[in-house]
Amino acid sequence: MKDIIIAPSMLASDFSQVRESLDFVKKNGAQWVHLDVMDGHFVPNMTFGTKFVQDMRPHSDLVFDVHLMVENPEFFVEEFGKTGADYITFHVESCYHIHRLIYRIKELGKKAGISIVPSTPVSAIAPVLGDVDLVLVMTVNPGFGGQKLIPSCIEKISQLSSIKKEKGYNYLISVDGGVGGSNAQTLVDAGADVLATGSAFFKDPSWTKTLQF
């Protein structure tokens, strides 16, 4: 038995009603809040920066799970470190010196996560799997909410789960993109610890209560 963490993505909420959305997240049993930061370069969309996260912080006691979809994430972690973020996750595809950045995030007193897009294999992050607190497997091409999960990515969750057991690593396996009632149990069975979910959660979160671990 393990706890599955539900991490609703605020991207799917109405930004004009942030406080109500944070209440909705908590009331429906989620433990984390997933915050998608997009820069219009790494992904073809823009969302929000540090101020938005900082302004939300006093209105939620849940874990803030910041997902940086930005180029040069090393330019931003310092400032996100001051926002009250708990986890800071960046993409291997947008950074040359991932080992250095993981330890910079840790020095800031934050949990460090690394993420891979659907076309990146687990082997691309193998050398740092012993160093990270979280691995975020993208199951859609990042940039937008409401897309369909790409089934071939599920295999990466199983791989990460096996490596974790084999080597005794401690990272959480998080899944992001198209996660909802129709696939959540499969993802949990494959080894997911955290389900980042946007549209499917804000539309009707009842499926999160039906998961069996």
Q: Which is nearer to ligand DX5, 185 or 199 (by Cβ)?
A: 199
- Which of the 8 DSSP states describes residue 39? B
* x/- track of binding to ligand DX5 for residues 164-183 (CB under 6 A): ------------xxxx----
Residue 105 interacts, among ligand DX5, Zn ion, none and using kind-specific CB cut-offs from 5 to 8 Å, with none
Asked about 39 being catalytic, the answer comes back as no
Q: Does 73 bind ligand DX5 (CB under 6 A)?
A: no
CA–CA distance, 73 with 150 (Å, rounded to integer): 25
Nearest Cα to Cα of residue 86 among 107, 114, 56, 65 = 65
Minimum CB distance to Zn ion, residue 198 (Å): 8
> Of the candidates 73, 81, 143, 205, which one interacts with ligand DX5 according to CB under 6 A?
143
CA–CA distance, 111 with 48 (Å, rounded to integer): 21
Interacting positions 74-103 with ligand DX5 (CB under 6 A): none
What contacts 24+ positions apart, CB below 8 Å, involve 204-210? 205/6, 205/8, 205/28, 205/29, 205/30, 206/181, 207/180, 207/181, 208/6, 208/28, 208/29, 208/30, 208/184, 209/29, 210/181, 210/185
> Which of 36, 65, 133, 193 does the annotation list as catalytic?
36
Minimum CB distance to Zn ion, residue 40 (Å): 16
Stretch touching ligand DX5 by CB under 6 A, among 7-15, 102-110, 156-164, 205-213: 7-15
Stretch touching Zn ion by CB under 5 A, among 16-24, 25-33, 143-151, 172-180: 172-180
Stretch touching Zn ion by CB under 5 A, among 29-37, 44-52, 86-94, 157-165: 29-37
E strand intervals along 117-193:
134-138, 172-176
Q: Which is nearer to Zn ion, 67 or 164 (by Cβ)?
A: 67
Asked about 55 being catalytic, the answer comes back as no
Burial track 20-41 (b if 16+ CB lie within 10 A, e otherwise): ebbebbbebebbbbbbbbbbee
Q: Does 36 bind Zn ion (CB under 5 A)?
A: yes
Residue number, nearest CB to Zn ion:
67
Q: Does 67 bind Zn ion (CB under 5 A)?
A: yes
Residue 191 interacts, among ligand DX5, Zn ion, none and using kind-specific CB cut-offs from 5 to 8 Å, with none
The half-sphere exposure of 207 on its side-chain side, counting CA atoms within 13 A, is: 17
